[in-house]
Structure 1
């Protein structure tokens, strides 16, 4: 797409969209309300997926949390619930994301650092001890090992007496964006896509209210993309998942109603609102016209939003409270279904209880004091917002068409097309910050010479790995080793064949096989991906 030229007397969004000084009716051209907007809850869902949106109930406040041991994270979950959080969101540590047990040599230095360490069913039980899973919706940010964590969650919910219809939540399960932007993949793309579609099929039969994937633009944006690129590459990946599921024999309307999305909220409030509105309109068109969906639920793009971690600054960290508020406001005005607000100290460390509470209170103030929940899509009809929605959509379609010309997302990732576009956008952004063309308050303007960093920071106990290793040793000594071997053998045979992997995987995890052992069986069959 090339770099964006900026004339001195014009202003552009970071997606390269010109912003005019004034917008008038003629900027919308021949505007067809039914075609471009429709009422909230009606095709093409530009104005929202539900008729009254937040009037009956605000969005789900789903604060992302996880660190150290399952016991420590369980305490943080209960603290957030006591303070009014309405949904759980689990962060897992890097070894868990990469399919390694805490006592594996490659886990050294990472256990419990960026999320909670989960090695087995014992850890998952402890993570949700005292939290009734039939009453709580849980989102899990996990991709390469998503099937394992989902099954561990299901096992704990069943132990609590929950029925399949009562188990609700979301697994991120978006492996394509890992190759594209984040890097926590294990297996090559083809077997990874098989695991993803096996999870679709399993949930369609066994967990009817579980959202099987949260197709994520968040990490694409964190890697440096523009808003238009985030939207385009996310929808391209979504199309690849739908195509793979159909090719695996699933009917579109069998699995598509449980697809969900995950977007980033950045600082340009109106561009972000436009992005979310364009996303709904584009997805409805894609599902109806390209995939022949007949169920209206298959056409409704439901999404979670997280405020932008990449915009948080270590300098004058309290300024991040304002940034997060603006970003959260864009998500709410854009019609998000759930929201996480980052804590102001996250550029320095994991959130403390105090900073996590401030982040949650930010959402609660927006929900209860700001007058945002009375009407659906309050910005509809704005000459600027409607023009910007059209412009973001147009830019996104250009990228999608290029990806399709290359053969779809998997091929475009293999050829590094999307990666190069993101890298160029990130470079442009950084160059603008360093030149002062793009202002970052407290960093390249209004900086303070000697800043007082008297901020309480959260620290993770370095002894966590040793504790987890001891727990694993006790587990392996006490479990039925023969049963574990039998179940892992069944999983190996399924991987070598074409059976759904989640059924033997669940049996192995129930017999107390560890996350690392299950992942190693699949490594032995599928191999590991090396770019």
Structure 2
């Protein structure tokens, strides 16, 4: 019997495709299957980002200056685990985690050091932060104000996508409903004060890293996006204003054509979703997205093979029409990336942009029998999931009753089974193996960082106006107990040098923990 060929989502692949669905669409026109700009990369390349952040603000600042000197166009900040879940470096809960998976940020002082020598109005900054996004954004705003920036010109993105934290990633603090309140407060505040800021990056990346298929990543991400739209509409916000500031964050794994089709389907689906909820402005219907190559596809075995995987994934993201791209370092299955690995990752994007020719025409794969058919099939499979989630009352309910988590767990289990029984080949892992070839140079984080951060906190608390801090925190607590927008209160607390942990604890007292 012939072996059945399928994509990673189980969509059957035919031997040959002789027709494609008729598609008269043009790029830059609703529903944007072929790209959101009519000239795409001929007009402007995607933003080349490198995700970086480790140890102290001082050390991360050095890496940012290095990356900017190598030609990176935007910064992407990684925060350590205590920062992500609202603990200062001196908290007992922070022990063993300070500065490990990202930079430790305890107060506005650390943000001032992190961006030392960098003019915020001249760059775009993406911050991978969710539960404490409001606090980190407030710190960024406070620094921009100190630099004398025009807040109307400040641009960047906070991830701020709490729903996928409950479903796939785990760095939540408060229960879903108060968390959604904080997010819509950010939407409302930024629409007035920071009109160019992307207030949420609705993230499929972590859903995919947790083991979902490509179809599930697409479906659950757009279902979450729909939940944010509905929450903002309930708050009385105008979809034609706030939907322009939503962006998405997708993963790109190894199945080349499936990934390209996924991105094309995503744009078309989102255009129809926003239109169905009342959007009339085309810019509010455009799905703009950042892509990161697949961290979970990288292998510790034969790590240099990861250079090829990342190149393949980056090319798929570009052919799929991404607005922004981060390429992973080849050594990331072993440690945070070394400078050498970060440079090769950035050079991969530059080679694709300037040497491959794929940027010369818009949507080069449009009209491919295979790509057009696969785009339709992925859309149909993802819509089945979204319809099911709608029947449950939307993403928040689907997460609260464990449906999305269970679907991801099942897909992850099936994938692992296929790898272990050899049905799915991973080069260097279950085929073409060899005795370990270790990379000598891995990136290590010193345990002394926590001591450095604790000393900074002691000094900060001795020098700041503690009466003003106490008052700012009390005002925030009272506001959290009512219905006021929390962002101005968080900003005031940050400007008085209240710490991230103090602000998060103040909200814990009102909202509780999940």
Interval of TM-score (by shorter of Structure 1 and Structure 2): over 0.9
- Structure 1: runs of 5 or more not aligned: 1-6
Q: Which whole-Å CA distance do the structure 2 matches of 1:135 and 1:302 have between them? A: 21
1:265 aligns with 2:276: no
1:48 aligns with 2:35: yes
Aligned to 1:102: 89
1:414 aligns with 2:387: no
Q: Deviations over 1:229-250 (max 9, x none)?
A: 0000000000000000111111
Q: Which whole-Å CA distance do the structure 2 matches of 1:373 and 1:257 have between them? A: 25
Q: Which whole-Å CA distance do the structure 2 matches of 1:258 and 1:509 have between them? A: 24
Aligned to 1:484: 469
1:474 aligns with 2:459: yes
1:306 aligns with 2:292: yes
Aligned to 1:4: none
Aligned to 1:255: 242
Q: Deviations over 1:80-134 (max 9, x none)?
A: 0000100000000000000000000000000000000000000000000001111
SS of equivalent residue, structure 1 residue 170? strand
Matching residue within 285, 296, 311 for 2:272: 285
Matching residue within 8, 23, 45 for 1:14: 8
Q: How does 1:389-400 map to 2 (within 5 A)?
A: 389-400=375-386
RMSD: 0.8
Q: Deviations over 1:24-81 (max 9, x none)?
A: 11x53xx2x24xxx21110010000011000022110011000000010000000000
- Contact 2:301/2:437 (<8 A) preserved: no
1:495 aligns with 2:480: yes
Q: Which whole-Å CA distance do the structure 1 matches of 2:220 and 2:369 have between them? A: 27
Q: How does 1:74-473 map to 2 (within 5 A)?
A: 74-289=61-276, 291-448=277-434, 450-473=435-458
Q: Which whole-Å CA distance do the structure 2 matches of 1:189 and 1:405 have between them? A: 19
Q: Which whole-Å CA distance do the structure 2 matches of 1:441 and 1:399 have between them? A: 32
Note the C-alpha offset of 1:280.
0.2
Q: Which whole-Å CA distance do the structure 1 matches of 2:66 and 2:275 have between them? A: 43
Q: Which whole-Å CA distance do the structure 1 matches of 2:241 and 2:479 have between them? A: 23
- Contact 1:120/1:512 (<8 A) preserved: yes
Q: Which whole-Å CA distance do the structure 2 matches of 1:63 and 1:192 have between them? A: 28
Q: Which whole-Å CA distance do the structure 1 matches of 2:107 and 2:49 have between them? A: 25
Note the C-alpha offset of 1:451.
2.0
- Contact 1:135/1:166 (<8 A) preserved: no
Q: Which whole-Å CA distance do the structure 2 matches of 1:99 and 1:413 have between them? A: 22
Deviates more, 1:450-459 or 1:411-420: 450-459
Q: Which whole-Å CA distance do the structure 2 matches of 1:45 and 1:453 have between them? A: 45
Q: Which whole-Å CA distance do the structure 1 matches of 2:206 and 2:226 have between them? A: 18
SS of equivalent residue, structure 2 residue 51? strand
Q: Which whole-Å CA distance do the structure 1 matches of 2:404 and 2:316 have between them? A: 26
Q: Which whole-Å CA distance do the structure 1 matches of 2:31 and 2:309 have between them? A: 31
SS of equivalent residue, structure 1 residue 12? coil
Aligned to 2:18: 24
- Contact 2:314/2:325 (<8 A) preserved: yes
Q: Which whole-Å CA distance do the structure 1 matches of 2:227 and 2:182 have between them? A: 14
- Contact 2:198/2:246 (<8 A) preserved: yes
Q: Deviations over 1:491-529 (max 9, x none)?
A: 011100000000011000000000000000000000000
Note the C-alpha offset of 1:16.
1.0
- Scaled by the length of structure 1, the TM-score of the pair is 0.96
Note the C-alpha offset of 1:8.
4.7
Q: Which whole-Å CA distance do the structure 1 matches of 2:497 and 2:403 have between them? A: 42
Q: Which whole-Å CA distance do the structure 1 matches of 2:322 and 2:432 have between them? A: 33
- Scaled by the length of structure 2, the TM-score of the pair is 0.99
Q: Which whole-Å CA distance do the structure 2 matches of 1:162 and 1:363 have between them? A: 30
- Contact 2:303/2:439 (<8 A) preserved: no
Q: Deviations over 1:402-437 (max 9, x none)?
A: 111111100000111111110010000000000100
- Contact 2:133/2:159 (<8 A) preserved: yes
